[in-house]
Structure 1
Amino acid sequence: MSSNALTCVGMRIPVARMRSIYRLEEVSQRLEKLPARDHESLRATYERMLEKGEARFQVKPSGLPAMESLYDELPNFHEVLDDVRRQIALCEASSDALEITPLLLLGPPGVGKTHFARQLAELLGTGMGFVSMSSLTAGWVLSGASSQWKGARAGKVFEALVEGDYANPVMVIDEIDKAGGEAAYDPLGSLYSLLEHDTASKFIDEFAEVPVDASQVIWVATANDAHAIPEPILNRVNVYEVSAPDFEAARAIARRLYEKLRSSHDWGRSFDTDPTDAVLDRMAELAPREMRRAWMTAFGNARLAKRATVLTEDLPAAGSKRGKIGFMQ
């Protein structure tokens, strides 16, 4: 893909140029110094780095992308979208790389924080890495562990850059306020340097011990409570409080999801073009992340009843543990 702007009717195609994220000479030197019969995993890592090469696509939109659909789909994320749009505008007519200040999305579960991150990756045309801090079992999952330790491996950031195709993937740190890990190791320690552009450009994973350029990574962290997040992290990110969508916005989200599910499945042709007002009113009581499951349950129930219209009785029962209607979690 060339570095020239590519456009076609109705859309912008992301522009990519190549960026070296590590030096092959350093990798070769590390590989040569390894003992012949030890460190098989580390040897395989170096060989993989040499095989993949040092260059990755550095993607940025060729102009301000059409974001109207995102504003419609994510009505409670307008402030964040405005910020992203401003930062894209800074580089659109220049040779500069796209830089997005790390984002921290604060809000209750289910309001769509992780979905926003996925949509951002799709908008920018780059890849996405994902780390769930609530299920973290090793404190070194981001930065890797020394190859001297049994079972050690590279961290998620290193893997996303080396195994991926992009120099600027979206990296999601989900539920950063729930970071635990091993008592002797701060699982967020590596973020202090990774969230700083200058230090991230020579990030060293503790397993591979080869500097990689992580300065272009686009960081999106999510959390429910800012009080559990270290101050050095908060000082390095733009913080946005994301509330649950109001009733009308939630209703609109439910309608768009109905239309998307109906149009993306062959069985969707069996159902009405538009859902009823009564069903939309009930769906609007759900957290956004619960809506898809509720719609799928409703579609299935309506199909079993041989109806083209989804009724409120097709929705998951209120108070059930799964597909809960009427309560915001």
Structure 2
Amino acid sequence: MAVNEEERVLPLLPLRGLLVYPNMVLHLDVGRERSVKALEQAMVDDDLILLATQHEVQIEEPGTDDIFRMGTVARVRQMLKLPNGTIRVLVEGLHRARLIEFVDTDSYYKVRVSEILQDEIDDINVEALMRSVLDHFEQYLRLSKKVSPETLSAVSDIDEPGRLADVIASHLPLKIEDKQKILETVDIKKRLETLLSILNDEREVLELEKKISQRVKKQMEKTQKEYYLREQMKAIQRELGEKEGRMGEVDELRGRLEEMEAPESVKERVEKEIQRLEKIPTSSAEGGVIRTYVEWLLDLPWQKETEDDLNLAKAEKILDEDHYGLEKAKERVLEYLAVQQMVKKLKGPILCLVGPPGVGKTSLGRSIARALNRKFVRISLGGVRDEAEIRGHRRTYVGAMPGRIIQGMKTAGTANPVFLLDEIDKMSMDFRGDPASALLEVLDPEQNQNFSDHYIEAPYDLSKVMFITTANAVHNIPRPLLDRMEMLYISGYTEIEKEKITKEYLIPRQLKEHGLGKDKLQINAEAIQKLIRQYTREAGVRNLERTVGTLCRKATKQLVSGEKKKVIITSKNLSQYLGAEKFRYGKAEATDQVGAATGLAWTAAGGDTLTIEVTVFPGKGKLTLTGKLGDVMKESAQAAFSYIRSRAKSLEVDPEFHEKNDIHIHVPEGAIPKDGPSAGITMATALVSALSGKPVSREVGMTGEVTLRGRVLAIGGLKEKSLAAHRAGLTQILIPKENEKDLEDVPPSVREDLKITPVSHMDEVLKLALVADMKRG
């Protein structure tokens, strides 16, 4: 290949964003003053001009350093002045030219150039390159939409390699730097190789673009198809008037979410689960699990509250309507209302109502809810031994459900109900965890504002709930749980209170339940008294109400069968309806007995009297204890036995009685377990009576623990024991001196009927309990 270079001086036309190759014919719009003058000079001379591209498109007036040093000598074929002052010019590229120097830069650029004139070459390697370039260009055209397909047929007819490279380069949408690189490559073989490399790169980019485009299109088609099908399904369901399928479920749940009152974190969790549900196929079992979970979150009362009725007089009236007595419990509720009035917001108190069965603990909780104008919900904890009952199951398990606390909140439908946890003392534990420990978080005012249920997995605020727990005995409640609660002791009712409750509450309620009126059935006062004394013996009134119900049933039968038009029940005809008397009212013993003392005991059912019997017979000093006694009572018997041996002379007992006699201590009703620290003085009194032959007064009951030196120690449950003594018809009870402070809990009517004597030593007990005018028998 021969290359000739000739120098000449030509005007320069700088091009912006455009490059002209040899053999190219195109129109240019020229508007810059320098460029216009350069064109005019070219027309004056020989129509030749140098077209060179500037480095940066943005530069309005390019300097000498802003223009590439390789350009194209072109012939100006035609010039046309446009109305806006711009000149449209038709130019034809002739050959390459290298810019040597700027001759003039005043009104326009005049430059000295070296024209590069080259002959085409005929070489087998170049021929191969040409074919390869054409092949790559054809592939490029198939992929690209920027070049028309007709271009290929026009390019295929070119047999000069240099011209072929220039024409193909002119049709490619390349960067100015790449186009300039081809222009500056004078060697035709290298130019073809450079073009081939550029075409190869461009083809790979286009293939990648096509793949991306196809993937996007496919995704869009899938999305559009799904959207179209969903819309079709919705339209069909609307026509049928149905909301079926997964979309119906999702729309319904989203509608409920919009109305939901809950923290933002909970709403976000619900929305996330709904989105999951939307993507899961209808046939998938997981969809049902997610829907159940979402419905639980939607159903829970996160922020919905009822407004408290803080009218103290109205609340007091409601409490008195439902329950007679229970003054301390009622007073505590009124205190809560008063504080609410002052501070407007108070953490829900946690009350524990402790008392025997049938005294109205559960019904008091219901009355408190009515007085506060709150929703009431009750769950029973009796026999609960699985921690999941409180905290719920994790959702990974089949059949998982929230715990009873969350279930109760859903049932209540508000965030501030009165929540009754019944029988909290009857929970147990096994390998499935300790539910009592799980309840700590529920009943701790410092923790329950963020109660965590394993199923819900979102902190739930229980601080607005008024928790009320019930128990028959405190000692069965774990100490940490007990520490979180405020104890309110509800003791048994006195006989006077029972009469009042029967007249004002039980009889009217049972008459209503059995469809009777006062004109159909009457129970007079003597019958009620006999009912209490000889047919029921309990701390509460549950059996009493059941017995009144029995009377109502029998009376109803007589009225319906036509036997009678009105039934009047008196103390004389009571046995006709209820049969023989079940209890002997009054004395535990009809006469003063030797070796038998009446003790006072506390049980889960309230107070009770307990007769302790002692018999002495010849033997070798063996002490026998029967009556299914616990370890504490056995130790009390041993302590009483040792005390009597140490004080035998002063007690008028044979000092050697333990060597000549066997002693048997028995507590009747041997099938019932008995234990506790308050039978010591009763056992000691019965022992002294049996050994000395002095009878124990039948009208005296006693309670207290005894030490080896004869000191009487304090006991618990004084009120219940006093009520039991009153029920049993005793006239005097002996209590430890330390329990004097508890006498204020004993009802005034009981204190009036009973002589309550505090004692501090066993000598005082014996002096008061033994009848002294009897001789030893």
TM range (shorter): 0.7 to 0.9
Alignment correspondent of 1:116: 364
Paired position in structure 1 for 2:568: 309
Q: Name 1:240's counterpart in structure 2.
A: 488
Match of 1:299 among 539, 545, 552: 552
Given that 1:275 and 1:309 are in contact with CA atoms closer than 8 Å, whether structure 2 keeps it comes out as: yes
Aligned equivalent of 1:205, options 447, 453, 464: 453
CA distance in 1, matches of 2:426, 2:329: 23
Shift of 1:325: 11
Per the TM alignment, residue 33 of structure 1 is displaced from its structure 2 partner at its CA by 5.1
**1:191 Cα deviation (Å)?**
2.0
- Confirm or deny that 1:156 pairs with 2:404: yes
User: Which whole-Å CA distance do the structure 2 matches of 1:203 and 1:48 have between them?
Assistant: 16
Contact 1:88 1:98 survives alignment (8 Å):
no
Shift of 1:72: 6.6
**Cα offset, 1:103, TM superposition:** 0.8
**Cα 1:227–1:264, aligned 2, differ >3 Å: closer, same or farther?**
closer
**Which digits, 9 at most, give the CA deviation of each residue in 1:81-115, with x for residues without a partner?**
11111111111255x23544211111222222112
Look up the match of 2:500.
252
Given that 1:197 and 1:215 are in contact with CA atoms closer than 8 Å, whether structure 2 keeps it comes out as yes
Quote how far apart the aligned CAs of 1:210 are.
2.0
| Alignment partner, residue 105 of structure 1 | 353
Structure 2 residue identity aligned to 1:300: R
Match of 2:394, SS state, is coil
Contact preservation (8 Å) 1:110, 1:289? yes
Q: In terms of mean alpha carbon deviation, does 206-215 or 190-199 score higher? A: 190-199
| Range with greater deviation from structure 2 (206-215 or 135-144) | 135-144
Q: C-alpha separation between the residues in 1 aligned to 2:437 and 2:458?
A: 18
Report how far residue 276 of structure 1 moved. Answer: 0.5
Q: 1:79 aligns with which of 328, 349, 371?
A: 328
Please say which structure displays the higher CA radius of gyration: 2
Q: Which amino acid aligns with 2:473?
A: D
Instruction: Specify the code of the residue in structure 2 equivalent to 1:262.
Output: L
SS in 1 for 2:554: helix
Cα 1:253/1:20, change in 2 over 3 Å: farther
CA drift of 1:29 comes to 3.0
Equivalent residue, structure 2, for 1:194:
442
Match of 1:26 in 2: 269
Contact 1:178 1:228 (8 Å CA) reproduced = yes
Task: Tell me if the contact between 2:310 and 2:337 (Cα under 8 Å) persists in the aligned partners.
Answer: no
Calculate percent identity across the aligned residue pairs: 23
Report the AA paired with residue 222 of structure 1. Answer: T
Q: For the residues of structure 2 that align with 1:325 and 1:140, how far apart are their CA atoms? A: 48
Q: Assess, with a 3 A threshold, how the Cα gap between structure 1 residues 190 and 201 changes in structure 2: closer, same or farther.
A: same
Q: Provide Cα deviations, 1:232-258, integer angstroms capped at 9, x if missing partner.
A: 211111112211011111111111221
Q: Give aligned pairs, total.
A: 305
| Contact kept? 1:298, 1:314, Cα under 8 Å | no
Structure-to-structure mapping, 1:1-329, within 5 angstroms: 23-32=266-275, 36=280, 37=284, 38=286, 40-41=288-289, 43-50=291-298, 54-64=302-312, 65-68=314-317, 70-71=319-320, 73-92=322-341, 96-97=344-345, 99-136=347-384, 138-256=386-504, 257-262=506-511, 266-268=515-517, 270-272=519-521, 275-285=523-533, 286=536, 287-305=540-558, 306=564, 307-311=566-570, 312-313=574-575, 316-317=578-579
Structure 2 residues without counterparts, runs of 5 or longer: 1-259, 559-563, 586-604, 607-777
Query: For the residues of structure 1 that align with 2:584 and 2:360, how far apart are their CA atoms?
Result: 17
Greater displacement, 166-175 / 244-253: 166-175
Report if aligned partners of 2:439, 2:481 keep a CA contact under 8 Å in 1. yes
Partner of 1:6: none
| In 1, Cα distance between equivalents of 2:496 and 2:262 | 46
Against the structure 1 CA distance between its residues 41 and 70, is the aligned structure 2 distance closer, same or farther, given a 3 Å change threshold? Answer: same
SS at match of 1:281: helix
- Between 1:81-90 and 1:217-226, the stretch displaced more is 217-226
Following the alignment from structure 1 to structure 2, what is the Cα–Cα distance between the partners of residues 60 and 314? 50
- 1:301–1:314 CA contact under 8 A, matched in 2: no
- CA gap of 1:44–1:180, structure 2 versus 1, over 3 A, is same
CA distance in 1, matches of 2:524, 2:493: 20
User: Deviation per CA, 1:177-213, whole angstroms, max 9, x where unpaired?
Assistant: 1102543311122321222234212212111212222
For residues 214 and 318 of structure 1, the distance between their equivalents in structure 2, rounded to whole angstroms, comes to 52
Q: Name the SS for the 1:56 alignment partner.
A: coil
Q: Is the 8 A contact 1:283 1:325 kept in 2?
A: no
- Compute the displacement of 1:61 (Å): 1.2
State the Cα distance separating 1:279 from its structure 2 match: 2.4
Q: Give the 3-state SS of the residue equivalent to 1:229 in structure 2.
A: coil
Counterpart-to-counterpart distance in 1, 2:554 and 2:437: 49
User: CA 1:48–1:268 in 2, change beyond 3 Å: closer, same or farther?
Assistant: same
**Which segment drifts farther, 79-88 or 169-178?**
169-178
Of 146-155 and 180-189, deviating more is: 180-189
Instruction: Determine helix, strand or coil for the equivalent of 2:435.
Output: coil
TM-score of the aligned structures, taking structure 1 as reference length: 0.80
Judging by fraction of residues, say which structure has more helix: 2
Greater strand share, structure number: 2
Partner of 2:733: none
Shift in alpha-carbon separation, 1:279–1:99, aligned structure 2, 3 A: farther
| Cα 1:141/1:207, change in 2 over 3 Å | same
The one-letter amino acid paired with 1:82 is E
Q: Does structure 1 conserve the Cα–Cα contact (< 8 Å) formed by 2:322 and 2:367?
A: no
Contact 2:318 2:367 in 1 (8 A): no
SS in 2 for 1:302: helix
How far the C-alpha of 1:215 sits from its partner, in A, is 1.2
Greater RCO structure (CA 8 Å; 6+ sep): 1
Counterpart CA distance in 1 for 2:319 and 2:371 is 9
* CA RMSD, Structure 1 to Structure 2 (Å): 3.1
TM-score (norm 2): 0.36
- 3-state DSSP of counterpart to 1:221: strand
Q: Residues of 2 paired with 1:63 and 1:30: CA distance?
A: 44
* 1:265-300 deviation digits (Å, cap 9, x = unpaired): 64325434x631122213435432233322221111
Instruction: Specify whether residues 271 and 131 from structure 1 end up closer, same or farther in structure 2 by C-alpha distance, changes over 3 A only.
Output: same
Note closer, same or farther for the CA distance 1:61–1:180 as it changes in structure 2 (3 Å cut).
same
Read off the aligned partner of 1:309 and give its amino acid letter. Answer: I
**2:531 and 2:544 in contact (8 A); partners too:** yes
Cα deviation for residue 44 of structure 1 reads 1.2
Structure 1 CA distance, aligned partners of 2:569 and 2:326?
A: 29
Deviation at 1:166, TM superposition (A): 1.7
